Amino acid sequence: MHVGRILVLEEGYPYIERDIRGIFGAPVPIAGKLSGEIPLAGELSANSVRIALGLPGREGVSAAGIEVPGRPPQFCQGCPHADSFTALKRALEGEADFFTASDIGCYTLAALPPWNAVESCVDMGASVGMARGAATVGQKRAIGVIGDSTFYHSGMTNLLDAVRHRTPMTLLILDNGTTGMTGAQPTISPTSQLPKLLEGLGVVHDHIRVLEAHRRAIDADVAVIREELAYDGVSVIVMVRECIEWLKKARKT
């Protein structure tokens, strides 16, 4: 070996560092997250890399007199999820007993103002299971919210379980036609096939509702959501409109 020490810099879990070390150890010292030169928690920064290289750290420079207002994460301008949650919140006005479980995706931002519409978020597919669990123990108006990509990934099995037990719950599938949170990758199946899949899973045909997630359709969407919230069984509402960021990319190609 022509080096005396290897420093591994990587975000997230130290996979590369672990592989370089191997089962029996490397012939030269390996430095990184596992040895403590790089912090295990948090993101890499120029300062943490300087310190790992043996260089002195640098203090940040503060700009006096500049006040930056707090900007919590928000939906993109024109995001269909904003219209979906606006319709859901209006449908729940006057309801004292309800529970809304979200899945992991852009729509989890609805837990923040101005919607404050999400009460739990655990992992992919959990929104369906959380809503089913809440309904099983007597919760009225148990609602799950999940994206189309996440539904295909891990929501179908929980929905099948809910159908089997005729759980009184409503599932909103926010179908924006892409995997928006991770870079607008294509989904497994097109929107047109989703109602057929839902019916194949056992959801009653009359309680599979496909709506337009748009402010011009808010009043009609609110009326349908209220109808399905009153149904004593599994109902699924598919809110359809393209992700605005995906649409921008598609128009450029």
Span 199-250, pLDDT tens digits: 999 999 999 999 999 999 999 999 999 999 999 999 999 999 999 888 877 7
In the predicted structure, residue 198 carries a pLDDT above the cut 70: yes
State the pLDDT at residue 1.
56
Q: Provide the residue type at 98 as one letter.
A: F
pLDDT of residue 221: 97
What pLDDT shows up at residue 212? Answer: 96
pLDDT at 41: 86
- Which string of DSSP letters, residue by residue, matches 56-75? PP------TT--PPP----P
CATH 3.40.50.970 positions along the chain are: 80-249
Helix (H, G, I), strand (E, B) or coil at 194: helix
The per-residue pLDDT for 12 is: 86
Helices (H) and strands (E) in the chain, counts: 9, 8
Is pLDDT above 70 for 191? yes
State the number of CA atoms in the 13 A half-sphere of 60 facing the CB. Answer: 7
Local confidence band at 83 (pLDDT 50, 70, 90 cut-offs)? very high
pLDDT of residue 171: 98
Determine which of 15-29, 82-96, 106-120, 141-155 has the lowest per-residue pLDDT on average. 15-29
pLDDT number for residue 234: 97
Tokens of 86: 């606006």
**Tens of pLDDT along 12-62?**
889 999 998 887 677 888 999 999 999 988 888 889 999 999 898 888 777
What fold is seen in the domain 80-249? Rossmann fold (3.40.50)
Averaged pLDDT of the chain: 90
User: pTM of the predicted model, to two decimals?
Assistant: 0.75
Q: What is the pLDDT of residue 250?
A: 75
Q: Is the torsion defined by CA of 227, 228, 229, 232 positive or negative?
A: positive
Instruction: Transcribe 3-59 into DSSP letters.
Output: -S-EE---SSS-HHHHHHHTTT--SS-EESTTTTSS-SSS---HHHHHHHTTPPP--
pLDDT score for 249: 77
